[in-house]
């Protein structure tokens, strides 16, 4: 597969772009499912024409296995956004983005369960640190001002699990499918799933103010088309775990933005839990030969 730009540069761009998602979501007053639905719908509408005009042959020759993986990836992405965006209504930006970033651990866990990949000693220690960090963040949130922090933390973890499935499916498909047709089809499946969730839940999808549409568009263009598509592009050249660990930069970026906008300052216990959790994930992902 031909490579023009260094994968880590694209990966960095993707992390910076997705870091703004929590801020755009916090600024919106629309229901979580409406935000997620329009984020994915607008993103798919932006990419589908390009995919059809430039990658029509790839789309028309998709194998049945790839179609199944794309559907699975899209549904997992829908669950990820529905759960994570909902979590921001109940807990802080810092806790939500840190907990949803535990997805690299679930990537490794599913790789072990599905592909019998070995789990080393330092990965077990890393898992323990990450779990301890998650518990610490949960305890810190109960002392804060969030409306329902434990519910928000649990939703963020559900989002992390769904993101792990999304990355694993994407890694398999991206080995022989270009990023634009993959992203366009996956985002389209995700949009259909989210719109269905919203309809069945009785969530109003219309009308919304101009301000809300600007936020929906920013989420679609900046955080999804630029952000997530950059991560999907990198999956063809880097291990899924490397892409996963790079997303650990998202909590830092989101927390800095939240502090600048709302003075949302993490407590000492929350900071300690975040350090434990992120250190555990980094230890978990250290290659065996580096130990």
Mean pLDDT across the chain:
81
Mean pLDDT of 49-66: 91
- Tell me how far apart the alpha carbons of residues 43 and 177 are, in angstroms, rounded to a whole number: 19
Answer yes or no: are the C-beta atoms of 74 and 189 closer than 8 Å: yes
Residues 250-290: tens digit of each pLDDT: 766 777 777 777 776 667 877 787 788 778 767 765 665 54
pLDDT category, 140, cuts 50, 70, 90?
Answer: low
pLDDT category, 2, cuts 50, 70, 90?
Answer: low
Mean pLDDT of 201-220: 91
- Tell me how far apart the alpha carbons of residues 284 and 245 are, in angstroms, rounded to a whole number: 10
Residue 242: pLDDT over 70 = no
Residue 218: pLDDT over 70 = yes
How much is the pLDDT for 264?
A: 66
How much is the pLDDT for 188?
A: 95
pLDDT category, 241, cuts 50, 70, 90?
Answer: low
pLDDT category, 73, cuts 50, 70, 90?
Answer: very high
Residue length of the chain: 291
- Tell me how far apart the alpha carbons of residues 271 and 265 are, in angstroms, rounded to a whole number: 10
Mean pLDDT of 92-99: 76
Question: Which one, of 38, 47, 81, 80, lies nearest residue 214 by Cα?
Answer: 38
How much is the pLDDT for 290?
A: 45
How much is the pLDDT for 291?
A: 42
pLDDT category, 1, cuts 50, 70, 90?
Answer: very low
**Tokens describing residue 57:** 């042959």
Residues 11-41: tens digit of each pLDDT: 888 888 888 888 888 888 899 889 999 999 9
Ranges 183-197, 229-243, 253-267, 276-290, most confident? 183-197
- Tell me how far apart the alpha carbons of residues 56 and 38 are, in angstroms, rounded to a whole number: 25
Higher pLDDT, 170 or 68: 68
pTM confidence score: 0.75
């Amino acid at each position: 597969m031909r490579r023009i730009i260094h994968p880590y540069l694209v990966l960095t761009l993707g992390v910076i772009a997705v870091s703004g998602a929590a801020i755009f979501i916090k600024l919106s007053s629309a229901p979580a499912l409406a935000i997620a639905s329009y984020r994915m719908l607008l993103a798919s509408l932006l990419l589908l024409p390009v995919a059809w005009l430039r990658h029509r042959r790839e789309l028309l020759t998709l194998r049945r296995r790839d179609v199944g993986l794309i559907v699975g990836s899209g549904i997992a992405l829908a669950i990820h956004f529905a759960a994570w965006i909902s979590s921001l209504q109940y807990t802080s930006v810092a806790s939500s983005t840190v907990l949803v970033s535990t997805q690299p651990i679930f990537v490794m866990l599913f790789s072990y369960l599905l592909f019998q990949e070995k789990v080393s000693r330092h990965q077990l220690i890393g898992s323990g640190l990450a779990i301890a960090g998650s518990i610490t963040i949960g305890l810190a949130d109960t002392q804060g001002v969030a409306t329902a922090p434990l519910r928000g933390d649990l939703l963020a973890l559900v989002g992390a699990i769904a993101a792990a499935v999304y990355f694993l499916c994407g890694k398999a498909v991206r080995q022989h499918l270009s990023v634009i047709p993959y992203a366009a089809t996956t985002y389209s499946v995700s949009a259909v799933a989210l719109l269905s969730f919203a309809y069945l839940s009785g969530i109003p999808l219309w009308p919304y103010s101009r301000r809300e549409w600007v936020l929906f568009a920013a989420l679609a263009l900046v955080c999804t088309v630029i952000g997530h598509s950059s991560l999907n592009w990198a999956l063809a050249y880097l291990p899924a775990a490397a892409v996963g660990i790079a997303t650990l930069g998202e909590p830092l970026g989101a927390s800095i933005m939240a502090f600048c906008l709302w003075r949302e300052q993490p407590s000492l216990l929350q900071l300690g839990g975040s350090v434990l959790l992120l250190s555990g994930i980094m230890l978990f992902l250290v290659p065996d030969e580096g130990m």
